[in-house]
Each structure stands twice: as C-alpha cells, then as structure tokens.
Structure 1
Amino acid sequence: MASGSPLHQTLVPLLTSPGGSLSDDDAQFLLVPIHIVTHASQLPPEFLNPSVDSQLVIGLDCEGVDLCRNGALCVMQMTLIQQSGIVFSTYRYKLTMFNSKLAFPDAVYLVDAVEGGKALMEACKPAIESTYITKVIHDCKRDSEALYFQFGIKLHNVVDTQIAYSLIEEQEGRKRSPDDYISFVGLLADPRYGGKSYLEKEEVRVLLRQDPAFWTYRPMSEMMIRAAADDVRFLLYIYHKMMEKLNQRSLWHLAVRGSLYCRCFCINDIDFADWPPLPTLPDFLAAEGYVPEEEILSVLNVPPGKMGRVIGKRGASIRSVKQSCNAEILIGGAKGPPDKVFIIGPVMEVRKAEAILRGRMIDL
C-alpha cells in the first residue's frame, strides 16, 4: 500500500460538517494525501478484497480521452475516508450507520490506467463490481461504458448523485425539465451540497478542447493531479447530505435507476445477461402497499438516415418526446453507439416513448 511522505495533498470535507454550505474554514476539512497508483500493492487491502466485514463507501470518477467505449480511460480517481457515516447498499437495500475502524489511511487515490495498464485495472475489478463497496459517482453512464468495454468491469452498487439530486427535487415538489441534468459543478455550487464554486473545472475544459490527449501525458502534471482529485474529494460529503434527505421510496428508485444507468451504454449481443440482476423491491416497502411500476431500459435501433428525424432540428423532436413521456431518453451521439436510442423509466412510459419515436422514423 502507498506509504511514505506524499508529494501531493488535498482537503476533503469532514462528513460531520454542519449544514450544507462549506466555508473556507480549515476546521471543516481534513488534509489527506493524494496517491498516484501504478501497482495494486499501493491500494488498501480492504479495497482490493471486498468483504462484508469491511464495507466501504468510496467516491469514484474516471478521466480519459473523450471517455466512452472507444475513448481511452486514463485515470480512475477514488476517495477513501474513514469517518462515522451512512452506508447505503443498492443491492442489499440497507441504510445503516457505520464507524469505520479499518487499517487504511484517509486518502485520494489516482489509479493510473496508462502506467498500470490492464493488470492494475484487473486488480480493481472485484471492488468496482462488489456489493460490499458503495461507489458514489456523478453521472455514471460513460464511466461505466469505458470500464466495461475496455477492461471487462461491470460497475455495480452505485449511488449516482445526478440521479439522487433529481429524486430529491421530485420528493420536495420541484419539477425539472426533461433536459435539466445537474452538472457536478452545478451540484457542488448548490448551498445544500457544499455551496462551493469550481472555477478550475472550466480551466481544465479549455485545456481539453485545445488538447484532447490531456489525460494521457505522463508524468501527470500538478494541474492533472489537482483536477483529478477535485472531481472526487467532495463526493462523500455530498453523498451524506443526500442520504439525510432521501426517503425510503426515493432510495429504492435511486437503486434501480443507478443500476439501469450503469448498463445503459453497455449494449451487447446478450441483452445484458452478463450483468447482475436489478434490485428487487424490499419487503418493508411492499408491506406498506407501495407497488411501483417496473422500471426498465429499452434500446431502440434507428435505421440508417433516420436519426435526424428522431432528434429534430436543434433537438426539438426529441425534446417533445421527453415532454410527453415520464422517461429518460438518451442518444449515443458522437461517442456512440450512433444508431441507438436508450430509454429508461416506468414500463408504460418507455413503451409510449418507443411508439412515438418509431412513428418519427416512418417514411411519409
């Protein structure tokens, strides 16, 4: 495991910080090392060997070259912090308090897939697929796609903060438009979840536009290390603030939608048969008489030359379908797959969206 004096450090919010907004008071933060990992021996054994006796909640993100199935994954960032808090497992459906007494030190780990290669990522596979490690991530779809197609890893047991944000908004009576997906920058700026500006993110975006290979360069620059750490150092704080707000029904939908989002772009010839089953409705919700409509993922094939009709001028067609149906509708776009539409939601709403979209493809 990583040892010695770290060359890089960052500040991680204490989970016990009161309220939602974080000030610049150092008392609200914990100074932790940033470890650049090129070999599995530099990672905590508790992470590499998931166990019911050492359940973890980690912050997770990935960076790469136009990250997707074909866009190289270069860095997988993780935050591992030992503090009293809440563990939510989307597959055992438990929301429990924990007081971690494990051996590993608090740290941000940057798993270098460029230097460590497939051997390093293979060593991480049991943890990323484990039900004993909850992965907190913002918008998991492309990260999951890259992990699956490049390393055969099926991202599992996630709490997607983008989904959680939408559920909290719905739970508190605030409706959002069909295309209103909160960005991580927007989420972090929300005073309920940190109230922090993330100006450095735009700086990195500018660099990526100028040089798409930014994340491939080695050794990693100071800016790369800081940017990678910044994308995960607030995730566990946001997670705990969200867990305080989500009710049991919303937690159930969070579990199911997170599972569907993980497999969304990971389409294969066996219709996701190699993926874990979706979470089942817990007995205590069924006992309350809560019987939600089944939520599904549907993949619609679009014939050559018809995607323009599906999307419409400046996206008008696809927006109108989203407004008509209570379902998420996603297009593969430039990252692909370019000939498919992905629909996630309750069965009846998904079927309604399918029918409308098929109608748009018919030659007049």
Structure 2
Amino acid sequence: MPEAAPAPIQPHEHTFCDTKASVDAALSIIRQYTTLAFDCEGRDLGETGGRLSLISLRTISDDVSSCFSAGHTFLFDTIALKRKYLLGVYAILESSAIKKVVFDGRKDFSSLYHDRGVELRNVIDLQIADIKSRALRGEQNKGRMKRLEVAVDVRQLKRNPHLFVGMHKLNGLKNCAKEHIAFKAASGPRFDHSMWVTRPLPAEYLHHATEDVVLIHQLYIQFLFCGWLFDGYLPSESMRYVSIWKDRRPLENEPFRNHGLLPFGIIDAAQTLGQELQRCAYCERALTKSCFPKNSQSRKCNVCRAVEFPPFWVRRKREAKA
C-alpha cells in the first residue's frame, strides 16, 4: 500500500470498439490484466424490455505499487457487434480468475444474464464497500439514520425507529465519488437514457460511459488505499448483491426491487446462517424473521415497508412516471 493518498485520475480517453479488428486489438491488451473496472450502459438496463448498449472495461494494474496510475478504457458497442465478436469479452466477464470492480452491478448482471446468457463472476461491488466503510470511518447510528431521511418517510423514521434497524441508504456513483474523492459533477440537462440505443452515439454519451468507469477506478484505488477492500466477506456479499435479480428482471420502475435502500440479507447473511426464513411477498426474497416487524404476521419486510411509504419527492417522481 502506498504511503500517500492516490492522485485523481484525470484522462477520459477511450477506445471505441465496434468492429472485429478493434475488439481483437482491445482484448489483446485487456487479457494482460486480472483486475478491471467494469460498467454497462443501456436503455432501461437490466429491466424487462431494456437493451444493452455498451460494455465498458478499464484496465487496472495488478501491481499494487502501480495500480494507482491511470489505466485505459475500452467501450464495446453491443448493438453494432455480432455476438460471435463479443465472445472474448463475455469470457472475461464470466472468468473467475479476473476480478471485475463495479458500482451497483445489479442491472449489469441482470442485462447480461437474461439478455445475453452471460453470468458475471468474481465481482467486487464498491457500493457495498461504501456502506461497510461508514462504520470504519466512525459513522454512528445517528449518521445512518440521517442518511435515511432522504429515502424514507421521516415521520415513520422518528415514530418507529425500531423498524429501521440494520437499514442503509445506498449511495449513487456520483454521490459516492463526491463523498470519498471530492468529485464535482458537471451541471447540465437531465441525461436521456433512451438515447443509448441510437447510433452513432453522441460524444457526450461516450464521455459519460468513460467517466463512470473512470470513477469506479478512482474509488477502487481510494478504497484500496484506505484498507476497505480487505474484508473477507466482501466478494461473496458483492456476488450476492449483483445477482439479486437472477430469478427475473424487474419491471420498469418496480418499487420493491429497484429503490435507494440496501436490501436485507446482503451484508448480514453470515450472521443469520441457520435461522428460519420467511419470504417477503413484495421483494420476493427469503429473509430471516428479524427483517420483518416483530409481533406481526406481516409478509412485508421492513425495507419494502419503508419503500412503500417514501418521502414526498419520491412519491412525486413516481407519479410523474406513471
């Protein structure tokens, strides 16, 4: 581990791969690495009716002393490229010998698994590492509850705090980067994700795809520097998290599957082994009884209960999409 904090990675150069020759050239470089930052882009990615547009891979040096230097980003056009030309990319994603560093890989996994028949393996999800780092950074229960205020009904939070025990607010990639590496997102119009299926892709979309995987790389080296990636449970927790929709793709805006709270049974699974399980009728997951209201026959876990009664701004956003 280096003695000084890593410097930010500035370059946003990328190689766009939309031909067999460009894919082969990219793979000849990527195969030299055993750690890659990984992300996908698409329209309604991972959801029913969605479509994968780009697979982004960024090289990260396997040498700990030099992994803080900039890598290179490769963007694979999954719309232009035939499946046979992407088999080498899929093999890397399925490889247990190559570590893929992601940030909230649920939609990536869902899209690849359900649409392409590709099962992502050997993943470290920095969204999970971020949540686990909070206690290591000295955040107490008061701080955890404060984060929840923007995601749940504050009245419920204050009246029934016992229903929110063990519940965590997820950080988005940009907010996480702001919190950990002082990233400042550029202001601009709302990003139109339906444009991911257009060709040629506008330059700002290629920049967005590159920036996302660069931020994942930056967060990875920051977390590595801070020692937050040496948790022995993190790999299994990450795989449990990204494959949470393996049973089926969520519907568009399905509230009990796609929300801003960490689902139960991800980071606390090791402590609940051997306990009796019951299935939540809303998120459709088998959870321990501690995830449900006590002294109640409710078939709704506490996370789904919190999602059902969100703050006003979330309700207004849902109504606008309806």
- The answer, yes or no, to whether TM exceeds 0.5 is yes
| Counterparts of residues 191-340 of structure 1 (less than 5 Å) | 193-199=180-186, 203=189, 206-208=190-192, 212-246=193-227, 251-267=231-247, 293-294=272-273, 300=279, 302=281, 307=282, 340=283
| Closer, same or farther: CA 99–255 of 1 in aligned 2, 3 Å | closer
- C-alpha separation in 2, matches of 1:186 and 1:357: 37
Match of 1:341 in 2: 284
The structural deviation recorded for 1:98 is: 7.2
The structural deviation recorded for 1:233 is: 1.0
The structural deviation recorded for 1:114 is: 0.8
The structural deviation recorded for 1:18 is: 4.2
Conserved in 1, the CA contact under 8 Å of 2:104 and 2:242? no
What is the SS of the residue equivalent to 1:267? Answer: coil
- C-alpha separation in 1, matches of 2:42 and 2:274: 31
Residue by residue, what CA displacement relative to the aligned partner does 1:119-168 show, whole Å, maximum 9, x if unpaired? 34433121111122111111111111111001111111111111001111
Conserved in 2, the CA contact under 8 Å of 1:134 and 1:158? yes
- C-alpha separation in 2, matches of 1:17 and 1:357: 52
| Counterparts of residues 1-364 of structure 1 (less than 5 Å) | 18-19=4-5, 29=9, 31=11, 33-38=13-18, 39=20, 40-45=23-28, 47=30, 54-70=32-48, 71-82=50-61, 84-85=63-64, 106-174=71-139, 175=141, 176=144, 177=148, 178-190=167-179, 193-199=180-186, 203=189, 206-208=190-192, 212-246=193-227, 251-267=231-247, 293-294=272-273, 300=279, 302=281, 307=282, 340-342=283-285, 350-353=288-291, 359-361=297-299
Paired residue total: 249
What is the SS of the residue equivalent to 1:115? Answer: coil
- C-alpha separation in 1, matches of 2:207 and 2:26: 19
Conserved in 2, the CA contact under 8 Å of 1:32 and 1:106? no
The structural deviation recorded for 1:232 is: 0.7
Residue by residue, what CA displacement relative to the aligned partner does 1:53-102 show, whole Å, maximum 9, x if unpaired? x55211111111111143111111121144742xxxxxxxxxxx6779xx
Task: Give the fraction of aligned pairs with identical amino acids, expressed as a percent.
Answer: 16
TM-score with structure 2 setting the length: 0.66
Greater per-residue strand proportion = 1
What is the SS of the residue equivalent to 1:186? Answer: helix
- C-alpha separation in 2, matches of 1:151 and 1:140: 16
Amino acid at match of 1:62: C
- C-alpha separation in 1, matches of 2:236 and 2:55: 24
- C-alpha separation in 2, matches of 1:188 and 1:84: 24
| Closer, same or farther: CA 247–139 of 1 in aligned 2, 3 Å | closer
What is the SS of the residue equivalent to 1:261? Answer: helix
Conserved in 2, the CA contact under 8 Å of 1:33 and 1:108? yes
